[in-house]
Amino acid sequence: MKVAGVNLKNPVILASGIMGTTGASLSRMAQSGAGGIVTKSIGPRPKKGHKNPSMVKLDFGYLNAMGLPNPSYSEFSEELRIAVEKSDVPVIASIFGGNAEEFVEVAEGLMGESPAAFELNVSCPHAEGYGASIGVDSCLVEAITAAVCHVVDVPVWVKLTPNVTDIVSVGQAAVDAGASAIVAINTVRGMAIDIYSGYPVLGNRFGGLSGDAIRPIAVKCVYDLYAALDVPIIGVGGISKWEDAIEMIMAGASAVEVGSAVYESINVLGDIARGIDTFLEDAGYSSVEEIVGLTHRRI
């Protein structure tokens, strides 16, 4: 199936940040049943990220504040090459920067390793000066998207933050600048406190909430974006089983990304993909495309 210029093996994609730090781990996820894989977000300079603890499991998901640790695009390019060579599914490079010039620098630096697309991370909620610091400003999102689209010859996807008043206006800015798809959503700002010490649990004090708790938020964002935009929407947030994926697709997602659920099992991507196929067959649908945005047609 082809979504936003990328030929996916199936509609279930590995989300950025999970098992995406090396070419070997990415290719392993491709073999586990993913329809496509997204790398960890890569930036212009080496970045250590936030001090530990940087991730905690909650009853309803995960809270993390990794801080976009990465080796820089120049050091990661070899890992991207390995992932592309050893995977039988498209590899999408997730990139970040502090401004349009840095996004362009990273995109140009990785373009030679033949990623199937770029996913622009303008949505990480816990990296000061990056991610959501940019993604809350539609003008910045538009400028960055336009700059990257101008220098690459592959599709550009833009991953949005839910931590805004109007996600549709930010999505529209990305589309106006040439985005081939919108990815929604990244994590939701959150915090946990140890009641016995009074200290924040995370080393960075606050972080991003992922997992089951944010799925209704993601579904609503996908629903709104699908109704307003003319490009495919990639749904992500709280998907851990095929029923979750079907819900997201009916809200308007042409494909889905799975992140936190991989911590429970690396086979979850293949399990979800097979579950989708079984549902479509049992319900009498011939393809995923038939149920994309179905809920909009029911109202």
* Cβ-Cβ contacts under 8 Å for 167 (sequence gap 6 or more): 160, 161, 184, 185, 221, 224, 225
Region of 65 (left: φ > 0; alpha: ψ -120 to 50; beta: rest) is: beta
- What tokens were used for 128? 């000061």
Residues 147, 12, 89: CA angle, nearest 5 degrees: 70
How far apart, in whole angstroms, are the C-alpha atoms of residue 271 and residue 266?
10
Q: What does the longest C-alpha to C-alpha distance in the chain come to? A: 56
- What tokens were used for 102? 């840095």
Q: How many CA atoms lie within 13 A of 98 on its CB side?
A: 6
User: Is 124 one of the catalytic residues?
Assistant: yes
Active-site residue numbers? 124
